[in-house]
Chain A
Amino acid sequence: MSGGYRQQPGGAGGGIRKDGKRVAGKLRFTPPGAGGSRPVSSPRDLDGIPESVGGNEPQPAGHHVHDRLRTGTTVGRSTALVDANAKVTGQAWYGDDVRLPNEVIGRILRSPHHYARIRSIDTSAAEAMPGVLAIATGSDAPKTFGVLPVTKDEHAMAVEKVRHVGDLVACVAAVDEATAMEALGAIVVDYEELEPEFDPRKGLEDVDEPIHWRGKYHVGRTNVQKRVHQAFGDRSKIEHAAATSRRAWRFEGVHHGFTEPHAVVAHWDANGRLQLYTPQQVPHYTHRALATVLNVPMHQINVVRTFVGGGFGGKSDPFPHEMCAAILARKCGRPVRITFDREEVYWINRGRHPSYIEVKLDADEDGRVAGLDVDALIDGGAFASFGHVTSYYNGVLATAPYELGSFHYTGARVWTNKPASGAMRGHGAVNTRCAVEVGLDDIAEQLAVDPIDLRLANLLPPHSRTISGFRITSNGMREALRRVKEGSGWDEKFRKMPLGKGIGIGCGFFISGSGLPIHWDPNRFPHATVHIQVDMDGGVTVHTGAADIGQGSTTAVAQVVSEVLALPLDMIHVRSHESDTSPVDLGSYSSRVTFMNCNAAIRAAMEIRDELLNAAWDMLGYHPTTLVMVDRRIVYKHDPSIGVSYLQALHKAQEDKGALIARGAYRSPPMGGVHKGAAAGLAPAYSFSAYVAEVDVDVETGLVKCTRVWAAHDCGKALNPLAVEGQIIGSCHMGLGQVLSEQMVYGRTGHLQNANLLQYQIPSVHEMPHVTPIIVESSDPEGPFGAKEAGEGPLLPILPAVCNAVYDAVGVRPSSLPLTPDVVWADIQKRIKKEGVEDPLELESPRLTHGPLQEKLAARAEEHHSRDRARQRTEDTSPYVNGVLFGFDPTRPIDEQLEGWAAIDDPDPESMAEMGYAGRAWLKQEQRQMGGDV
């Protein structure tokens, strides 16, 4: 059928009366935009509608509040990204693709020294060069900024001191790149070199010249940026441990390795407003920082997020080069474009912290985890970045998914003269998680039980609280473990394979959106806001600040709107690039976008939906509760032939007010405890994952190759299974890089030695194992249609799974990552010496004969299985807190039931120092306690 207007039953339009008279005043108008190749509405697809509202979609995890909004349109279906066509045709515009008329090129002068005081900068020679349009140095922007309001310690360009090789010193705008480079060479900087520090362990000592000075909060004269301590539970439980695993780990720093180098374009428009184009995950923070540094009000800045060529946390800080571009553009009055080369990407870093982590696990005679002690010393590099949060995450995100008898955490983040570490996919949780999961494997070995059964018998159930008070809602951990066990054929393989072949398990737990927006009180301003506008053409424009960094957030938002309004995806247009048009949003970090923005979008879409239904009520005479939205039509529930088209209802709804506009916001429920740091790690929901990895280890060379991975991730509800699987496989790839080959190598001189993609070894297609993604759906009660995060959590389990598989293959447990051949080989050699064999091939692989505990654990796991099922489906709504497994009554506060079960706030420095490196940070006093510098 060709396009154009077709007569609808019950439609508007006057005409000729039966007696042949023309009806006055009723002219026919063509509905705008009608036409298209799909002129007939398709009937409801019951397979996309949940059981609870009469559809065919099974809901093993119970029903959900959003079920009644389901129309079977897109949710739960594999969908190409809405911007996929732009990406495959080369039309997606990334940072460096923004070319404004009259643009000039900016370049940055970087420090050649690790640590030095700047005595003077002479730019006169450079300024005199033809073609140089502007030069800026630190004195042009003396105000500090930083991603966290509590730790603003960065400048656009170094003021007073440079703190690492590659730190920004000055910048130049010139007519072309060659001239800009020449000019950089002509800037004369007089440095006074200072004693640099590269070893985070030495950061705990007093020095003459700490890298930053925090005034009265400074810890002694050390380089400790942040120290944290948390203790919960009952220490007496670990006195008679049946098994103990204590292991000191060393994790090298890793980088996000996104393919798009940073780039920025700044332009002060004709009205003197700043237009800043940048590939940012968190444009709003950049927006705030720009206003501070440039000293202009926020409303005079428009931050335009370009397409982002991969972020993974590495594009979530406000960056100094963004300030530089704006300053240069202001000085020379022309648009300035700064693009990094690959080396500069490493100088700005913000990758995962190099860490020293010590984990001690104690299990009692019943195979319960009686104690978990974590000590994490993390190397923050030269700036704070997200470090405040990272310091907490390294501990607190290890408090689930297992029920713990006690938990002790000491953490410290120190400054060193290296490029700053920051947030990276799996922020703060990855390294500790690896150490904990390998510890559990060790415990299982000592108790002679199967490690999966050990885990299954110690899981926190759905709708419970962790030891530190996190509120767990949906929890698909058990199903994830059971499904990878089944899928991988675990029982036939574990501890049964020949030398050199191994299989291992690892689990993960991660936040789905941080409960606390960093810059404001969550009770006074929402986490996320979405605006929807529908004008008479019927197209739906959605405004959101959610930053699509490739994970598909735009697609997810479009999908939920399309689902609620029963419109095909091509009628939904998401506008998310500009801060001028997008409501304030925190952007893409801590895996918050799907959870928070989609919730906000659903709320906005519900408003539109109500207006449409009311209009249809007017037209059809049926109450909205009896109307359903089907594909582009609103029909009477009991007789779908009675209905109006979407456009008719829309026009009716617009009669008095024109375009429909609605907004929705998301605010997290009140959460949290009172102890120090209680807010860190709070999230409205948590994701769970379990992986099994199979490896081949060459016993003679130590080369590890991961061959198969079964990856189960609980994402609540897969809005777009294709995207979820993409995230799982992608996470596997990134995690494999960290466990097998990636590391930032700082030589003895502290120089970064592999600032390029050749020596920084990201796995290529040949190193990739075959990954079987398994989606577990636990239907989170507060998630949009039940969804939780899928972007970061899936990275965690791959590291320990591979480590445990290496043990299964050759019987060694390396305790430093990455597991490069030399590391594994050295451990194999040690084992050879210890066992006195000649040839590595004579080594025996570990074997398991189940001990007496095995049956008990399996029985407990079975019992918990039915308990969890009932809780998940809210058939059992009794309270549950961590500690019930140890015999406490969940209806009474635990500290009433047992003395000694409490949060310990006042640390005893001596005992803390025994925990490990980070504990030793507590031996020092803060300046205010010492009476100095108040």
Chain B
Amino acid sequence: MVGEARVPMLPQAPKTIWQAKVNHRSVEVLAPSNAVLLDVLRDNVGQLGVKRGCDLGTCGCCAVLVDGQPRLSCMTLAGDVEGCAITTVEGLAEGHHLAPIQTCFAMHGGSQCGFCTPGFLISAQALLYQTSSPTEAEVNEAIEGNLCRCTGYQPIVESIMAAAALLRGEGEAPVPPTNPHADPHPSGPEEPQLPPGHAR
């Protein structure tokens, strides 16, 4: 806090029950009636995947889907979206099966430090709900409210394009190299044809 002016805090608003469907799960939490959606999601519902980058609507890290539409949760009053279906980054995957957009971000370098990633995924997903063959201009427009300091956006645009291609059924979902599948005890490759008389 900078400055000498001492504005006494407003008396805290009374707490009320807030309910909504967050990531396909009905939640009911006790939150101040004037609470901001971002705070409720992070502090009360526990969706820490929603990130706070600025609190001022300038970075896009806090984006969530409200009934399929992207919204900045730091600029949304929780009361305004009462009862809505809210999807955060945690709700994009189905169990262990990542959504195409998530796999593509991982495989195409769309995420470096990863802090902006939840916001980008949400913006991108909202676009992909509308169309699976977006133009580059449409992609740019969809993510223009999101800030990324690491990637320079280019890999992000590529990731979204790749995800759209997957949705159109072109190509197969790539498997990240870290997916567990290796047996430490493999058998050897096929026996080579040994020349006659070859000594082992």
* A interface, CB within 8 angstroms of B: 3, 5-6, 8-9, 31, 33-43, 74, 79-94, 96-97, 99, 107-112, 165-166, 178, 181-182, 184-186, 256-261, 307-312, 339, 341-343, 347, 537-539, 549-552, 567-571, 631-633, 635, 639-643, 645-648, 650, 722-723, 725-726, 729-734, 756-758, 762, 764-766, 768, 770-771
For the complex, is B177 an interface residue (Cβ under 8 Å from A)?
A: yes
Q: Is the CB of A259 within 8 A of B148?
A: yes
A677 to B126, CA, bound (A): 55
Q: Is the CB of B61 within 8 A of A259?
A: yes
Q: Tell me the chain B residues, 87-122 only, with Cβ under 8 Å from chain A.
A: 88-90, 92-93, 98, 102-103, 105-109, 111-118, 121
Given A181-B1, A571-B184: A261 in contact with B49 (beta carbons within 8 A): no
* Min distance, Cβ B180 to any Cβ of chain A, angstroms: 5
Given A89-B102, A260-B115, A758-B58: A94 in contact with B51 (beta carbons within 8 A): yes
Q: What is the chain B residue whose CB lies nearest that of A339? A: B52
A450 to B53, CA, bound (A): 46
* Min distance, Cβ B59 to any Cβ of chain A, angstroms: 6
Partner of B111, one of A81, A639, A731: A81
Partner of B53, one of A9, A41, A42, A261: A261
Given A182-B8, A258-B149, A571-B182: A112 in contact with B187 (beta carbons within 8 A): no
Q: Is the CB of B187 within 8 A of A347?
A: no
Q: Is the CB of B2 within 8 A of A111?
A: yes
A343 to B176, CA, bound (A): 38
* Min distance, Cβ B56 to any Cβ of chain A, angstroms: 6
Given A261-B53, A570-B181, A641-B192: A633 in contact with B111 (beta carbons within 8 A): no
Q: Tell me the chain B residues, 172-200 only, with Cβ under 8 Å from chain A.
A: 176-189, 191-192, 194, 198, 200
Q: What is the chain B residue whose CB lies nearest that of A165? A: B2
Partner of B115, one of A34, A42, A309, A733: A309
- List 7 A-B pairs, minimum CB-CB distance, nearest first: A90-B49, A550-B113, A309-B115, A87-B114, A538-B184, A733-B152, A84-B106
Q: Tell me the chain B residues, 1-56 only, with Cβ under 8 Å from chain A.
A: 1-4, 6-9, 12, 47-56
Q: What is the chain B residue whose CB lies nearest that of A11? A: B185
Q: Is the CB of B183 within 8 A of A259?
A: no
Q: Is the CB of B143 within 8 A of A765?
A: yes
Taking CB atoms, residues of chain B closer than 8 Å to A87 are 105-106, 111, 114, 117
Q: Is the CB of A639 within 8 A of B194?
A: yes
Q: Is the CB of A725 within 8 A of B186?
A: no
Q: What is the chain A residue whose CB lies nearest that of B105? A: A88
Taking CB atoms, residues of chain A closer than 8 Å to B121 are 88
Taking CB atoms, residues of chain A closer than 8 Å to B155 are 725-726, 729
Taking CB atoms, residues of chain B closer than 8 Å to A256 are 149
Q: Is the CB of B53 within 8 A of A756?
A: no
Taking CB atoms, residues of chain A closer than 8 Å to B194 are 639, 641
Q: Is the CB of B176 within 8 A of A756?
A: no
A824 to B183, CA, bound (A): 62
* Min distance, Cβ A623 to any Cβ of chain B, angstroms: 15
A723 to B178, CA, bound (A): 16
A725 to B109, CA, bound (A): 9
Taking CB atoms, residues of chain A closer than 8 Å to B191 are 641
Q: Is the CB of A99 within 8 A of B48?
A: yes
Taking CB atoms, residues of chain A closer than 8 Å to B107 are 80, 84
Partner of B184, one of A82, A312, A537: A537
* Min distance, Cβ B128 to any Cβ of chain A, angstroms: 14
Given A312-B149, A342-B54, A733-B152: A3 in contact with B1 (beta carbons within 8 A): no
Q: Is the CB of B178 within 8 A of A82?
A: yes
* Min distance, Cβ B162 to any Cβ of chain A, angstroms: 12
A722 to B150, CA, bound (A): 13
A723 to B93, CA, bound (A): 25
Taking CB atoms, residues of chain B closer than 8 Å to A643 are 188
Known: A6-B187, A311-B113. 18 other contacts (CB 8 A): A34-B183, A82-B177, A87-B106, A111-B2, A112-B3, A185-B6, A258-B113, A258-B149, A261-B54, A309-B116, A343-B2, A550-B112, A567-B184, A632-B183, A641-B192, A643-B188, A734-B152, A765-B143
For the complex, is B147 an interface residue (Cβ under 8 Å from A)?
A: yes
Taking CB atoms, residues of chain B closer than 8 Å to A3 are 183
Q: Is the CB of A641 within 8 A of B188?
A: yes
Q: Is the CB of A88 within 8 A of B102?
A: yes
* Min distance, Cβ A19 to any Cβ of chain B, angstroms: 25
Taking CB atoms, residues of chain A closer than 8 Å to B181 are 36-38, 568, 570
Q: Is the CB of A730 within 8 A of B188?
A: no
Q: Is the CB of A110 within 8 A of B1?
A: yes
Q: What is the chain A residue whose CB lies nearest that of B11? A: A178
* Min distance, Cβ B133 to any Cβ of chain A, angstroms: 19
Q: Is the CB of A34 within 8 A of B185?
A: yes
Can you report 30 residue pairs joining A to B where beta carbons are below 8 Å apart?
A3-B183, A35-B183, A36-B181, A36-B182, A37-B183, A40-B188, A43-B189, A84-B111, A85-B102, A87-B117, A88-B98, A88-B102, A91-B90, A185-B6, A258-B113, A259-B147, A342-B56, A537-B184, A569-B177, A570-B179, A646-B185, A646-B186, A732-B152, A733-B151, A757-B53, A758-B56, A762-B147, A765-B146, A765-B153, A768-B152
